[in-house]
A and B are shown apart, each in its own frame.
Chain A
Amino acid sequence: MTTTAQSRTAPLVEVGRWLIRATAPVLWPLAGSVLFRHVYFAAAAALLGVGAGAIASLAVDGPTPAWLPGTVWTLIGVLAGLTLVKAVAGYLEHFLGHWVAFKALELLRVRLYRALVPLAHQAARNASSGDLLTRATKDVDRIEVFFAHTLAPAVTAVTMPALVLAVMGPQVGGPAALAAGVGLGLSVVVVPALGVRASQRGADAANARRGEIAQHVTDSVQGMSEVTGYGHVDRRLEETASLDEALQADGAVRGRWAVAREGAAQAVSLATLPAVVAAGASSGADLVPLAAFTAMVWALFDATAGVRGFAGTLDASMAAARRVHQIAVTAPDVADPPTPVPVPAGSLGVRVEDVDYAYPSEAEARATALAGITLEVPAGSHTALMGASGSGKSSILRLLARHDDATAGTVALTGAEGAVVPVSAVALEDLRTATHYVTQQTTLFRGSIAENLRLSAPRAGDDRLWEALEAAQLAEAVRERGGLDTEVGEQGRRLSGGQRQRLGVARAVLARPRVLLLDEYTSHLDPETAAAVRAGLRAALPEATIVEATHTSAGLDAADQVVVLDAGRIVACGRPEDLKRGGPLARLIARETDRA
């Protein structure tokens, strides 16, 4: 994705606003989640407060305050009641949190999916972008965690102590309330902020270092032959160890601050209690409320824990949100023209003129994929592009299907009476109707064979599906396995590679394209089946113009024209029987698998 580099710096505010807009319809129950978390901690504090107050009221002479139970049975009733309230509130808090999280997850997933549709080809172009897709789905999950488990605790950590202080403060007097306020305030505001910046820097450094370690491990594993063969085992292990040492050093600062925060939190919470008692007692506060208050403050420190680590989680969640936002605002490399031209009627040919093409890449110097390609495919004919892997044959097919645009030159469809329409002038929907691309790896989705076939022809009846399967030499296998409703499994894993490939051919037949782009589409088939599939496909689509990329000679004879590519250039072009006599095509054929 080339355009993502610019949007990487999208301000946090913009990302936040986008996130809230995207999830706004489901956010209101979050208020319920926060509310029940308050109820939960109020009940927890009351359990201790009631107990301490009741014991204290036995010790002092005088009337028991109205809010305290007087007998053992009322005490049991109150304790059981508070336990019940606490458990119900805890249940509702989590249920509502999950409710919001799952709703938000669904919304974000759908949004991400729709944002990715116009970017599909550019995102899938290279392997690391493939990871980007997987990462984006993980990012959505991480945002879910933020909604479900992070926000409510952080809010409650601040508001709950404030509420208790407001209610109990007048009963215990200023000094005791102040002592509690200072302790809780330190725990909520000061302690979590200890070394936040240094920790953040440490976290960034550690993340970068982890990336370096992953790269080093990848090099060690992928390049193992060189490592063991040239005797670098010990050196590689030492390097990994020293990277780990560096990681440890990166984490040390952050670790020290985390230790300081946890220690300080413990010290503050424990020191607050004697301070409250001493301040209350010396200021002559009512002692029964003071005992209750002291116990409640102790219970409240549990609620303040939610704010520690919030900064770290928030940062990770916002980084995730930023990556998803980035995808949502990325402009596609390939888009519909402002005023689309219709595809010429009738049989279509293909014309490629002076085309150069280089993969978009972040690396500065990148070998060009195609240079000076000129090619004419007459309507209804069959052209084979032959070359080694990396020679550029698939790139030509991708430009024809407009997965990307050429760096220079024109890629066009030709119609009757000299009509020439560049593929970039046609609406993408029309282009995808006129052409059909069969790849080496047919992508299947969990579901039945019929569902997978109908992806290319939603309204096709069963008879048409069977016709297509017959053409692809797959009908018999499907019948044996239980017919059209046979499940293909995750990514079609219940089918063999050859069956998946033939399913791709059947899809092509159903799509009834005018230009058929075939990319090593019989590579998993034995020679006899491959020949039958070729014949079946031609018979099913007799009018179609075929452009086929291949690195083997199988089926070359069916082609009207063979174009030999090497390192992104055309090195020979002509009829197969002429080219086979010598030169580059003969050299490529000589490479083929020794079938002896």
Chain B
Amino acid sequence: MPAHPLFAPGAPAVRVQVACEALRTVAVGAVMLCVGRLLADALDRSAQVSVPVVAAAVAAALVAAATEAGSHAVQGRSIAAESRRLRGALLRRAFALGPARFTGAQTGRLVAMMTDSVERVTEYRQGYVGRLVGAVLAPLLTILLAAVFVDWLSALVLLLLVPVIPLAIMGFRRLVAGVSAASREMRMRLAGQFLEAIQGLPTLVGLRAAGRVGDRLQAAGEQNRRATMSLLARNQLILFVTESVFSLFMVSAAVLLAWVRHDDGAVTVAGALALVLLSTQLTAPMKQIGGFFYIGMAGRAGQRMMTAFVDRGVVPAGHAHPGGRPDARRPGTPAETAPAASSPAEPAPMRGDPAQEGAVVVQGVDFCYEPDRPVLTDVDLTVAERETTALLGTSGSGKSTLLGLLAGDLLPASGTVHVNGVPLTAATQDEVRAASAVVQQHTWLFRASLAQNLRIAAPGATDEQLWDALEQVDLARWARTLPQGLDTPVGERGLGVSGGQGQRIALARAFLAGRPLVILDEPTSQVDLESEAVIEQAIERLGERATVVLATHRPALVTGRAVRVRSGRVEQERR
């Protein structure tokens, strides 16, 4: 099992579970030995029911019950604790990678990994592995008990038979491996076709093809089902083999040994009967085989996904693409180093000019998301205090990446970025972030009240300040008509807010934050005309009190300076 550090702390709970399971096996064995003794006494006719033996049996039963309960309790608790730790670690990692590294399509998968996959992985690691190890230990411990209390020779024979089981099952599995894979594939394909038809149903209805496709699906489904069943008929033979092997080599062998050794006089009747009863413990691993395929597969798939996410390659700063300068000043610290834990900030190589409030100085910056695929090359850009600068360029030109650097969400591979007088490094990332307010192309509203959504930018803001900010983006009138005013819930399942209103809320946040730099990424590309006019005016007012850097398609939106970004290079131009 690949012991990725992400999963390492899960082990102690598993060890406790294994210990519980082992102790339980021994306790159950003890009860069986006592029951054998009691039956032997009864057969003897002369002997009374032995109270100490009954007491010992009850005591062992209680120990077994307690360890069984303990194993489940540890399992439940460690699943909960591990879910929490894992979810926290994954979310922390996502935050460390920062918003600039995720596209819309990835966020859905990210959420599924932090919810569904966390459940699958903990169910496997904390819920199943301990039980599996316990089940594998059970026959060995039981054989040990038999050796000590019943008959060493019988125990030895059983021990020698143990390896036959995995060998026989694995050998057979290899024989049917192809069949098994084919059957799985067929089921997946059928499920896939069905899902595809359901999801494309609007199209099929529009084309008047829904009925025809339904008939075809039904026919294909039936045909596939028949094929699957005939495969399954062969595939399920593995079950037959497993059953036969366990029954024959463990249970029947134990029963036969008990009979033969008792007949020989080598084993007492009590020991022989106990051996018969103990034989059921020898089949414990059989009951965990099924889980291995369902819980195990899902859990390990989730584990792989998480490992890949945590190890996700971030091109370390300093490892610029070949075009980059080799004498980069910054050492090769990975971009995702936790900002708070890092070493003290490096001495800033240059201050002075960039120390102006909200000013931006970018010098010789290279950036890439993947090695050898430069996104920005040797970029220089200076934006003075309270200057408004527009970045013009087609999609894919590198505008958003440049904004990500200014916002402190990305770190340059080489070159320097100064924002508000602070040199951008892994250590100062949060400081740089705190200098700016960012408005993206789409604004996400949190499932909370309108007021809470605004206070994200300024936790201490008074209601009056919130109303002021709403006034700045001409939403105050609208907010007054809401059923609960500022306390109206918005976001998913809350009040429906149009794209334009969302962008205006984001701008209101920028007003509230009062930060020296405002960064806007195509704020009006998807909004209605009224919102567009409001947003343009609001940006102008923001420009009176803060430095504004804005990416846009529209030369018309530009009131100040315009800079063109083309294929990752910045071309200066004045208007």
Binding site for B on A (CB under 8 A): 47-48, 50-52, 54-56, 58-60, 72, 75-76, 79-80, 82-84, 86-88, 90-91, 94-95, 98-99, 102-103, 106, 109-110, 112-114, 116-117, 120-121, 123-124, 130, 133-134, 136-137, 141, 210, 213-215, 217-233, 236-237, 240-241, 244-245, 247-248, 251, 255-256, 258-260, 262-267, 270-271, 273-274, 277-278, 280-282, 287, 290-291, 294-295, 298-299, 302, 361-367, 388-391, 401, 403, 429, 432-433, 436-437, 439, 442-446, 455-456, 458, 490-491, 507, 511, 566-567, 571, 584, 587-588, 590-596
Contacts and interface: CB of A to CB of B under 8 A. Distances in A.
Given A389-B526, A594-B553, A117 B210 contact: yes
Query: What bracket does the count of chain B residues touching chain A fall in?
Result: 35 or more
Given A56-B43, A102-B229, A226-B446, 7 more contacts: A55-B258, A55-B269, A75-B256, A82-B252, A91-B243, A113-B201, A133-B198
Nearest to A436: B206
A584 B65 CA distance: 78
Interface in B486-530: 491-500, 509, 513, 524-530
Contacts of A220: 91, 94-95
Contact of A102 (B211, B228, B243, B530): B228
A223 B277 contact: no
B341 interface: no
B199 to A, nearest CB: 6
B73 A223 contact: no
B18 interface: no
B416 to A, nearest CB: 21
Pick the 3 closest A-B CB pairs, nearest first.
A263-B69, A51-B255, A270-B61
A350 to B, nearest CB: 17
A375 to B, nearest CB: 19
A291 B273 contact: yes
Contacts of B384: none
A124 B49 contact: no
A106 B221 CA distance: 6
Contacts of A240: 87-88, 91
A363 B526 CA distance: 23
Interface stretch (B155-163, B313-321, B433-441): B433-441
A223 B446 CA distance: 7
A130 B225 contact: no
Contacts of A224: 94-95, 98-99, 102
Contacts of B107: 218, 221-222
Contacts of B252: 47, 79-80, 82-83
A436 B209 CA distance: 13
Of B204, B211, B273, most buried by chain A (CB within 10 Å of CB) is B273
A251 B76 contact: yes
A455 B204 contact: yes
Nearest to B24: A266
Contacts of A437: 206
A121 B201 CA distance: 8
Of B107, B195, B222, B524, most buried by chain A (CB within 10 Å of CB) is B195
Contacts of B534: none
A388 B277 contact: no
Contacts of A455: 203-204, 207, 209, 213
Interface stretch (B232-240, B344-352, B373-381, B469-477): B232-240
B247 A47 contact: yes
B194 A137 contact: yes
B462 interface: no
A423 to B, nearest CB: 14
A573 B436 CA distance: 42
A357 to B, nearest CB: 14
B54 A274 contact: yes
A241 B88 contact: yes
Interface string B90-107: 011011001100100001
A278 B39 contact: no
B444 to A, nearest CB: 4
A446 B444 CA distance: 35
A270 B232 contact: no
Contact of A596 (B102, B280, B392): B392
Contacts of B256: 51, 72, 75-76, 79
Contacts of A267: 61-62, 64-65
Contact of B434 (A103, A114, A231, A445): A231
A566 B272 CA distance: 89
Nearest to B107: A221
A231 B509 CA distance: 13
Contact of A110 (B218, B440, B509, B554): B218
Nearest to A79: B252
Contact of A433 (B61, B66, B81, B208): B208
A225 B513 CA distance: 14
Interface in B174-212: 191-212
Nearest to A571: B529
Of B81, B255, B260, B457, most buried by chain A (CB within 10 Å of CB) is B255
B68 A295 contact: no
Nearest to B208: A432
B564 A106 contact: no
28 contacts: A47-B251, A48-B251, A51-B254, A75-B259, A95-B236, A98-B232, A106-B218, A110-B218, A120-B210, A219-B444, A221-B114, A225-B99, A225-B409, A228-B409, A237-B95, A247-B84, A251-B76, A270-B31, A271-B57, A274-B57, A363-B496, A365-B495, A367-B498, A432-B205, A456-B209, A458-B209, A511-B207, A593-B395
B502 to A, nearest CB: 10
A229 B432 CA distance: 9
B259 A274 contact: no
Given A281-B49, A363-B495, A367-B496, A273 B57 contact: yes
B91 A58 contact: no
Contact of B528 (A222, A361, A567): A567
Contacts of A231: 430, 433-434
A566 B447 CA distance: 27
B199 A130 contact: yes
A124 B111 contact: no
B77 interface: yes
Nearest to A50: B255
Of B61, B213, B269, B392, most buried by chain A (CB within 10 Å of CB) is B61
B259 A54 contact: yes
Contact of B240 (A87, A116, A230, A245): A87
A337 to B, nearest CB: 17
Nearest to B409: A228
B72 A259 contact: yes
B76 to A, nearest CB: 4
A79 B255 contact: yes
Given A274-B57, A593-B553, A86 B243 contact: yes
Contacts of A390: 498-500, 526-528
Contacts of B532: 587, 591
A591 B525 contact: yes
B456 interface: yes
A54 B272 CA distance: 10
Contacts of A98: 229, 232, 236
Contacts of A56: 39, 43, 269, 273
A228 B69 CA distance: 44
B407 to A, nearest CB: 6
Contacts of A265: 68
Given A55-B259, A56-B273, A219-B446, A48 B554 contact: no
A72 B263 contact: yes
Contacts of A262: 68-69, 72
B529 A587 contact: yes
Contacts of A361: 496
A94 B236 contact: yes
A429 B198 contact: no
Contacts of B528: 388, 390-391, 566-567
Nearest to A211: B115
B205 A117 contact: yes
A523 B345 CA distance: 48
